[in-house]
Structure 1
């Protein structure tokens, strides 16, 4: 039983990261072998802020290496987050907290979304960027949501 409690404690300390749902995709480059290069649109809900959904568009490399999961996707991405219901904080927010992460190469590269709370303007700010073990990318995109009252619906 002490091992189970220790494992549970470790799991509770891990960051809560959202899982994306693919909304759609468009093909950008035809490939003779393997899937085409494409732009995918994904949605994820902020795991710590009820009432917020983010939409992320990003390039996905196709071809034989892309089909096998060996290709490195481009660093560019776009993000738009929206209030989709009453905003409620499920737990305390930390500045720069990671809310989404996706691997964009076999080992070394990830795309991440982090959240900031702009207390002065009462807004949530989301930043998407890509990083590598050795060198990241300056390509990024940002979106902000003013925290507004949500109308009651019958």
Structure 2
């Protein structure tokens, strides 16, 4: 029985891509109270860009409650927001890819995720972060954008 209860965690660990940022939950706000099961809520998570020290992103996402949400069977809505900021001296690696996925989180049991991609706008010396839903909603992917200009930090 212990193996069965650990199965979702083992699958999640096996499917998580190496090199992606791990998020830390900052907190949640209830949006709808549910009599049975967890409340609907919006949760905020923080993660650092693993390849660009000095950048931290916060993503807020809607989480479905109720019985299905409590059991982990609900499909969360594609509603999220992204904010990335310089939180220390930025150190760009020698070879920064033009585009790279830095964060991914499943928002349903299968086939739906929130993904954050970092792009490098060399002409404007700016890091561009785009959050997208990997499932098409009414023909268009939901998305959010945040930019971080690469600038000196403090006395650096």
Could you tell me the TM-score, scaled by structure 1's length? 0.84
Residue 96 (structure 1) shift: 2.5
* Matched residue, 1:139: 142
Whether the 8 Å CA contact 1:15–1:98 is kept in 2: the answer is no
1:98 equivalent in structure 2: 101
Deviation at 1:47, TM superposition (A): 0.8
2:124 match: 121
Q: Deviations over 1:81-116 (max 9, x none)?
A: 000110013463222210000000001101000000
What is aligned with 1:77?
80
4+ residue runs over 6 A deviation: none
1:138 positional shift: 2.1
CA distance in 2, matches of 1:146, 1:65: 41
Q: Which residue of 2 aligns with 1:27?
A: 30
CA distance in 2 between partners of 1:98 and 1:126 (Å): 9
In the comparison of the two structures, how many residue pairs are matched? 138
| Structure 2 unaligned spans of 5+ | 1-16
Q: Deviation per CA, 1:27-78: give whole Å up to 9, x if none.
A: 0011111110000011000010000000101100111111111100111210
Equivalent residue, structure 1, for 2:111: 108
Evaluate the alpha carbon distance shift between residue 46 and residue 91 of structure 1 in structure 2; reply closer, same or farther with a 3 A threshold: farther
1:79 deviates by 0.5
Q: Secondary structure at the match of 1:50?
A: coil
Q: Take 1:105 and 1:98, find their aligned partners in 2: how far apart are those partners?
A: 19
List gaps (5 residues or longer) in structure 1.
1-13
Bigger shift: residues 91-100 or 20-29: 91-100
